[in-house]
Structure 1
Amino acid sequence: MKVVVTGGGTGGHIYPALSLIKEIKKEQPKAEILYIGTERGLESELVPRENIPFKTIHITGFRRKLSFENVKTVARFIQGVKKSKQMMKEFKPDVVIGTGGYVCGPVVYAAAKLGIPTVIHEQNSVPGLTNKFLSKYVNKIAICFEEAKKFFPEEKVVFTGNPRASEVKDVNPKMGRDSLGLVDGKKTVLIVGGSRGARPINDALLSVVGDISKKPYQVVYVTGTVHYDAVVEKVKEHSNPSNVIIKPFIHNMPDVLSAVDLIVARAGATTLAEITALGLPSILIPSPYVTNNHQEKNAHALSSKGAAILRLEKEMSGKQLIKDIDLVLSDEIKWESMHKEALQIGVPNAAADLYDLLKTVSR
């Protein structure tokens, strides 16, 4: 089996692609993979690190306002299609899959025009412009939220879930606890604002650190490297409570997620895939700065089923944060209900399901 994988820009597009590639290699060790991305995207760092053959094209996204840059983008798209076709003719893939980002546009379009079977994977509840455009040309569209179905041709849609969910199947809670120095048997809240952190979450937490020091649970706060030093200094003013652990970044996130009782986080697709696969109750504070406000809609897909508490950033305060945490951790019935609902949404075998879809459409 020969597969071209394309996707880039953010981890939310790249990590599902890497999880899928891992599944393909597990099932077919001799499978050949070619990853097509951009030189400037995060994929240029993450993909070669996994020893996956990597090639690039130059492409940018359309601006929503009239701009001469859009004329340049059209020219880059045409050139990208031409270069992608050359790569396809050399590599001769059986199937091409795009996992999101601008780079998918010319790559998947080129494959479709060459008659190569194509699939796109939409991680969010509301698709972006690229996948909406490609939906007219591809053979199948894999989705992670039922809410996304209405944006695509119904006959092409297949619910697979997010392959990233499969990363949490083989987790080690003890390793997760030990890596952070957590107290065994004590309820734990993980608060994380993404790899770059989130200032509003920082501010809410810091305003109530003194109150948290008196709580029976422990808190792990992942600040993001940008905010780490400032947060540590602020926490020092409250005598470094023993039940508050500050980290700039967590590398073994699946293990840590399996070791905690509650997460406070943004509502990116990768995060939601991981926590629902584990059945982890959540308090979601969606970023308001994303395309189509898709994080709020992602979060609503969980909160509407009772798997999460949704708090808009403008509603968030330290007092509200503690109130919500106390609500979940002090009520075993509430926690168990959220846990069960999250598991109902989760798709821990998503990577295998997406791989099966590729086999179905491949030539």
Structure 2
Amino acid sequence: MRLVLTGGGTGGHIYPALAIGREAAEKEPGTSLLYIGTTRGLESRLVPAQGLRFESVDITGFRRSLSLENVRTIARFVQAVRRSKKLLREFKPDAVVGTGGYVCGPVVYAASRLGIPTLIHEQNVVPGLTNKFLSRYARAVSVSFADSLPHFAGRQNVKFAGNPVASAVAKADPMMGFASLGLTAGTPFVLAVGGSRGAKALNDAVLAMLPGLADLKNVHLVFVTGDRYYEEASARLRELPAELSGRVHALPYAHNMPEVLAASSLVVSRAGATSLAEITSLGVPAILVPSPNVTNNHQQPNAESLASAGAAEMILERDLTGEKLLASVSSIMRDSARRERMALASRELGKPRAAEDIYEQLTGIIRHK
């Protein structure tokens, strides 16, 4: 297979594209992959580090208000479509996969104009502007949440497949998670993580609830602070009494997050699409604090989807306090039957075969081109 991947800006768009590429390469040894992104996005660093060929186009996103910059963006789009067509004619792909971000616009559109089969993958419940636009040109649409399906009503070949990053995470070994933390296997612990860079509001609430953890006997807390907040958090943790500080484990970053997540009893997290794919793939009960600082507030519908299924509790950041977080953590950790119900609901939402299902959808549109 010859496959073009495109998606950029954030890891939430890039990692699903790479996961689809890996699945294709595993299924068909000798597969050739080309990734098209922008030099501004994270993909310009992540993709070459994976040993994949990377090419760039110059494109920016539209502003949501009337602006002269939008006129320039249209001009960039036209140029980016021309550049994309040139790259596609040279590479001669069997298909193009777009996973969101404005760079997908010219690449997937160019592919459709050239008659190349295209598939787009939407990670969030509410689709981004680019995927909404591209859905009218794509041969297939794959979504991470069942709640996304109505947004693509009337489009062809729409499938609830899940997020492909879940496929690798589903194989994570919890025993390795316990060992990496220096905990005895089976130790109940709450994992609090605000993403790779950390989240100040979530961190502040975790720090504020720490004294109350004394009442949760034998329950540990694994606190992934993010690099920039680690020193501040560590200073606060040193103020805790010895009997409590021994149950709190602070890390700036967890390099084996899937294994740590697999071992956890409960996770306190943001509600990014990749995080939720990992959580549901492993069936971990969750308390979700969606970030309000993202485009279209897309994390809140993501969190609501899990909460409505009984897999998570949601606390909006404007309502988040140490007291409220402690009450939720205590309620869930004291009720093993409820935790098991949440875990079951989470697993029912999880799609550990997502990458394989998307690969099958992709090969289907290639066969019928």
Both proteins in one fold, TM over 0.5: yes
- 1:229 Cα deviation from its structure 2 partner: 1.2
Verify the 8 A CA contact 1:223 1:231 in the aligned structure 2.
Answer: yes
Return the letter of the residue paired with 2:107. Answer: V
TM-score after normalising by structure 1: 0.97
Secondary structure of 2:342 counterpart: helix
Note if 1:224 corresponds to 2:226. Answer: yes
Note if 1:63 corresponds to 2:67. Answer: no
CA distance in 1: counterparts of 2:187 and 2:159, whole angstroms: 41
- 1:239 Cα deviation from its structure 2 partner: 4.6
Note if 1:340 corresponds to 2:344. Answer: yes
Verify the 8 A CA contact 2:170 2:278 in the aligned structure 1.
Answer: no
Verify the 8 A CA contact 2:188 2:265 in the aligned structure 1.
Answer: yes
Verify the 8 A CA contact 1:213 1:242 in the aligned structure 2.
Answer: no
CA distance in 2: counterparts of 1:185 and 1:134, whole angstroms: 46
TM-score after normalising by structure 2: 0.96
- 1:53 Cα deviation from its structure 2 partner: 1.1
* 2:53 corresponding residue in structure 1: 53
Secondary structure of 1:264 counterpart: strand
* 1:74 corresponding residue in structure 2: 74
Return the letter of the residue paired with 1:360. Answer: G
Secondary structure of 1:34 counterpart: strand
Note if 1:269 corresponds to 2:273. Answer: yes
- 1:23 Cα deviation from its structure 2 partner: 0.8
Secondary structure of 1:320 counterpart: helix
**Could you say what the CA RMSD is over the residues aligned between the two structures, in angstroms?**
1.2
CA distance in 1: counterparts of 2:328 and 2:210, whole angstroms: 15
Q: Any runs of at least 4 consecutive aligned residues in structure 1 with deviations exceeding 4 A, and if so which?
A: none
* 1:114 corresponding residue in structure 2: 114
CA distance in 1: counterparts of 2:53 and 2:360, whole angstroms: 22
* 2:238 corresponding residue in structure 1: 236
CA distance in 1: counterparts of 2:120 and 2:209, whole angstroms: 44
- 1:156 Cα deviation from its structure 2 partner: 3.2
- 1:248 Cα deviation from its structure 2 partner: 0.9
Give the total of aligned pairs. Answer: 363
* 1:303 corresponding residue in structure 2: 307
Secondary structure of 1:14 counterpart: helix
Secondary structure of 1:189 counterpart: strand
* 1:172 corresponding residue in structure 2: 173
* 1:290 corresponding residue in structure 2: 294
* 2:33 corresponding residue in structure 1: 33
Return the letter of the residue paired with 1:286. Answer: P
Say which is worse superposed, 253-262 or 165-174, in terms of deviation: 165-174
CA distance in 1: counterparts of 2:149 and 2:349, whole angstroms: 15
Secondary structure of 1:12 counterpart: helix
* 1:105 corresponding residue in structure 2: 105
* 1:145 corresponding residue in structure 2: 145
Secondary structure of 1:200 counterpart: helix
Secondary structure of 1:327 counterpart: helix
CA distance in 2: counterparts of 1:185 and 1:233, whole angstroms: 29
* 1:361 corresponding residue in structure 2: 365
* 2:195 corresponding residue in structure 1: 194
- 1:214 Cα deviation from its structure 2 partner: 4.6
Say which is worse superposed, 320-329 or 205-214, in terms of deviation: 205-214
Verify the 8 A CA contact 1:213 1:243 in the aligned structure 2.
Answer: no
Say which is worse superposed, 320-329 or 108-117, in terms of deviation: 320-329
Secondary structure of 2:191 counterpart: strand
Q: What is the percentage of aligned positions where both structures have the same residue?
A: 51
- 1:189 Cα deviation from its structure 2 partner: 0.6
Note if 1:204 corresponds to 2:205. Answer: yes
Return the letter of the residue paired with 2:190. Answer: V
Gaps of 5+ in 1: none
